[in-house]
Structure 1
Amino acid sequence: MSKQQRTIENEVTLSGVGLHTGNEVTMTFKPAPVNHGFAFKRVDLEGQPIIEAKAEYVTNTQRGTNMEKNGVQIHTSEHVLAAAVGLDIDNLLIEINASEPPIMDGSSKYFIEALEKAGVVEQDAAIDEYVVKDIISYKDEATGSEIILMPSNEYQITTMVDFGTKVLGTQNATLDHIQDFKEEISSARTFSFLHEIEMLLEHNLIKGGDLNNAIVYVDKELSESTTEKLKHAFKKDDIKIKPNGILDNLELRWANEAARHKLLDVIGDLALVGTRIRGKVIANKPGHLVNTTFAKKLAKIIKKEKRNNVPTYDLNQPPLMDIHQIMDILPHRPPFLLVDRILELSDKHVVGMKNVTMNEDFFVGHFPGAPVMPGVLQVEAMAQAGGVLVLSTVPDPENYLTYFMKIDKVKFKQKVLPGDTLIFKSELITPIRRGIAHMQAYAYANGKLVAEAELMAQISKAK
């Protein structure tokens, strides 16, 4: 039995300061419809632009995972996204009045609390999950950082870190069940080394940092001048080093808190793949660069596999609808009826078929010396199959007409020639509301994807 997608029931707001800007930030989590995924909305900018949380928008991984789309930026997105994934949320709109979420205590703890307060609810759509069948890996030869993804019955993550310093050497952390994220991982705070803090202070960054939201490992001698800078930056009367090698006023929550936080970062960065993952991640010396580079690679693999996942049907079996039953529903008639059979039909999808013959009227004038089915008619055929899906939701389909509202993201992959058997598959992207259907449509022939498009149509009473 397939699991259902999830979002939050109510909107919830929390505020804090941005780690690097030090500015007050207000962020609101809002429910989102099925198949929406995660997205950030910059409510402080004109037009309130939206940046979808996708790996393709990652432009920089210095001190966090930073995205940019059409000049609009979102910085350090990983802690927020990790919280959403950790609560098995699929769809979420994150409204924010700055470029970076509030740092809070440097972990995902407060985001988890806010999302739980909002309430997590199931939605009327099955989850989109990528099931790993083969090992997928990426290695950064310069740093030795490597991520391996292998088959597993559920989403699991292991991180292995080695910073090569006396104060913080080799650590490991493992999450076997995503349901344990809240208790085992979400409170692990971000960390830095003293030499990095000195550099950030010199560049007038980490204005929002203090000893309550970042663990500072002291990997070099703490000079008097550095001590004075830290006292000023962190607004402390005194700065000291604890016996375990971290700056004072902070107790570690786990001995391997650094490795757990790296695991948190991996989850947040791999959320940018855009789908749930059923597989085991092994990350050796992970960081935002290797994480997001792997996320980009995985997203491309998933997209390619979906595109090449050609459905197979036994065309010798009696169809669900023959041409006569199709004409009872659709108002189209030859030569403009472009669907011969309906093979599958549910409340969310439809599969249709057309035999393309040399006798088609359009071959008379469309490249008669080298006949090719016009791309616009392939789109029309996909839409007609979708029309059967939409009209099947009303008790008297013969009294309705279906009209295009929008055609988007149309791509033609292969030529369709006489003798080809076309298979059309249309799936609802969102539930039908007020007679409006938003569908993802595909056309296949000869075991290949030949065309795809997003279609929006509306049914209305025939006059």
Structure 2
Amino acid sequence: MNNKQHTISKSVTLSGVGLHTGVTATMTFLPAPANHGIKFQRTDLPDQPIADADVDYVVDTSRGTTIEHNGARINTVEHVLAAMVGMEIDNILIQLDGPEPPIMDGSSIKFVEALEEAIPLEQEAHRKFFELPEEIRFKDLDKGIELAALPLNDYRIAVMVDYNSKFLSSQHANLTHVSQFKEQFAMCRTFCFVHELEVLYKAGLIQGGDLSNAIVIADRDYSEKELSHLSEVLGKPKVSISKEVGILNNTNLHYNNEMARHKLLDVMGDLALVGRPIKAQILASRPGHASNVELAKKIKKLMLETEKNKVPVYDPKQPPICSHERIYELLPHRYPFQMIDKITYLDENSVVGIKNVTMNESYFMGHFPNNPVMPGVMQVEAMAQTGGILVLSSVPDPENYWPYLVGIENCRFRKSVIPGDTVIFRCELISPIRRGIAKMTGKAYVAGQVVCEAEMTASLVRKS
């Protein structure tokens, strides 16, 4: 998975009919700045309102996922969002001059191809992954639906579907790496059963549905009279169902388990509404849009609760944002005062730095030599250096500035830091940096517990 955020290099446009509304719309993908996220814009409405792709704004899950925000309603967003997840696009503005993205062929492949044409572009910001700290489950026992999100330092999905049809037995699909999406899942099309067609039409859905953008499966044998009526409903001169294949007009499948793969695609798209890329193992048995959205709501709730605590997690297997060499280039400190080993997270408001405390630290020679404890002032110094990286990141030429610590308030030491501890420092801006002055809070953690905290003020001074 990409560690840096991505957008696209240029705009690209597609047009087509919407699956459920039947309205033809033009959709344009536009580049967006770092930390913008995925947003839809209804250019056909007054003031051209913008809707965030967020689970909080889901208003309908009838055979698709619909969001509404700021007066902008967008139907059937899941196939577009799945393409964003599969291509690891974090920041994009999706303009629509109608109520629904084009269904195209019923899959995500045309959106993937459009994003490739627009050329994904790496941005100078790191992805804000949410790594699940605990298991989350959703169950609907009446419908036999069960979904789970399990802690994992990666992104994987396993889906099982099972329908009461002699032509569609139990199917499974697995995505073990996001890079598999384009070649193995993006072209898998939406589907429904013959018996659902007339019901869906009468409910005002699938007005843009066609045998060219969906797989239609028989759940039993149909008489010629029934097929004739079906052709009238679909507006087709003739429809047929092979008793061997069981698919309307004998549509060829891309995969024997194409239906399970499409359900996996839907899960990816719906879970994109969490609002951040997630790291988890997703297990889904008989998923649908309603259950996907319920799981997304649970994940987002846990994400917000975790954010309140703001306990950073350190994964030594992940490459650093700034190595010790880069820190050496940015900060003026040298042995024995270069305190930070690496930076593992950095955005416009916060930073996370790591200090591995060893018995060889120079201050242990004189500071409680028979009971080595990291001096509090050194903890604050390390925290200030972490904050210095955050402050320097606010200017385009950080090598030309000195970051000075000019104030400390409300400093507290909660627990001793000893050799063998890995200290995780997190600093966050209290308010935007103005005139080179930055106010921030800082906390130091060992094994998830706060060992030190303080409010600090730093000043950026240009080198003469």
TM-score (norm 2): 0.71
Instruction: Pick closer, same or farther for the CA change 1:421–1:181 going to 2, 3 Å.
Output: same
Equivalent position of 2:42 in the other structure: 42
Find the aligned partners of 1:252 and 1:440 in 2 and give their Cα distance: 59
Assess if the C-alpha contact under 8 Å between 1:310 and 1:444 holds in 2. Answer: no
Report deviation, 1:147: 1.1
Find the aligned partners of 1:440 and 1:71 in 2 and give their Cα distance: 37
Report deviation, 1:234: 3.7
Q: Over residues 192-237 of structure 1, what are the superposed CA-to-partner deviations in whole Å (9 max), with x where a residue is unaligned?
A: 0111111022234322111111111111443556434432444432
Assess if the C-alpha contact under 8 Å between 1:320 and 1:344 holds in 2. Answer: no
285-294 or 142-151, which deviates more: 142-151
SS of aligned partner of 1:317: helix
- Give the residue type in structure 2 aligned to 1:120: P
Q: Over residues 394-431 of structure 1, what are the superposed CA-to-partner deviations in whole Å (9 max), with x where a residue is unaligned?
A: 96899xxxxxxxxxxxxxxxxxx99978999335999x
The 5 A counterparts of 1:46-445 are 46-223=46-223, 226-242=226-242, 243-248=244-249, 250-310=251-311, 316-318=376-378, 342=384, 344-348=386-390, 425-426=427-428
Assess if the C-alpha contact under 8 Å between 1:391 and 1:397 holds in 2. Answer: no
Find the aligned partners of 1:11 and 1:38 in 2 and give their Cα distance: 14
- Give the residue type in structure 1 aligned to 2:275: G
- Give the residue type in structure 1 aligned to 2:274: V
Instruction: Pick closer, same or farther for the CA change 1:96–1:440 going to 2, 3 Å.
Output: farther
Instruction: Pick closer, same or farther for the CA change 1:310–1:264 going to 2, 3 Å.
Output: closer
Instruction: Pick closer, same or farther for the CA change 1:278–1:418 going to 2, 3 Å.
Output: closer
Instruction: Pick closer, same or farther for the CA change 1:424–1:81 going to 2, 3 Å.
Output: closer
Q: Over residues 91-137 of structure 1, what are the superposed CA-to-partner deviations in whole Å (9 max), with x where a residue is unaligned?
A: 11111111210000000010000000000111001111122343222
SS of aligned partner of 1:143: coil
SS of aligned partner of 1:89: coil
Equivalent position of 1:23 in the other structure: 23
Instruction: Pick closer, same or farther for the CA change 1:91–1:429 going to 2, 3 Å.
Output: farther
Q: Over residues 56-88 of structure 1, what are the superposed CA-to-partner deviations in whole Å (9 max), with x where a residue is unaligned?
A: 111211010111224431111000000111011
Assess if the C-alpha contact under 8 Å between 2:50 and 2:70 holds in 1. Answer: no
Instruction: Pick closer, same or farther for the CA change 1:155–1:391 going to 2, 3 Å.
Output: closer
Report deviation, 1:389: 6.4
Report deviation, 1:183: 0.7
Assess if the C-alpha contact under 8 Å between 1:424 and 1:441 holds in 2. Answer: no
5+ residue gaps in structure 2?
313-353, 356-373, 404-408, 415-424, 451-459
Find the aligned partners of 1:196 and 1:440 in 2 and give their Cα distance: 60
Equivalent position of 1:366 in the other structure: none
Equivalent position of 2:333 in the other structure: none
Instruction: Pick closer, same or farther for the CA change 1:249–1:207 going to 2, 3 Å.
Output: farther
The RMSD of aligned alpha carbons is 3.8
Assess if the C-alpha contact under 8 Å between 2:23 and 2:100 holds in 1. Answer: no
TM-score (norm 1): 0.71
SS of aligned partner of 1:59: strand
Assess if the C-alpha contact under 8 Å between 2:387 and 2:427 holds in 1. Answer: no
- Give the residue type in structure 2 aligned to 1:164: N
66-75 or 170-179, which deviates more: 66-75
Report deviation, 1:349: 5.1
**Paired positions, count:** 375
- Give the residue type in structure 1 aligned to 2:75: H
Find the aligned partners of 1:429 and 1:171 in 2 and give their Cα distance: 52
Percentage identity across paired residues of the two chains: 42
Find the aligned partners of 2:271 and 2:84 in 1 and give their Cα distance: 12
- Give the residue type in structure 1 aligned to 2:82: A
Instruction: Pick closer, same or farther for the CA change 1:429–1:26 going to 2, 3 Å.
Output: farther
Find the aligned partners of 2:435 and 2:296 in 1 and give their Cα distance: 34
Report deviation, 1:391: 12
5+ residue gaps in structure 1?
323-340, 351-387, 399-416, 449-458
312-321 or 73-82, which deviates more: 312-321
- Give the residue type in structure 2 aligned to 1:305: T
SS of aligned partner of 2:62: coil
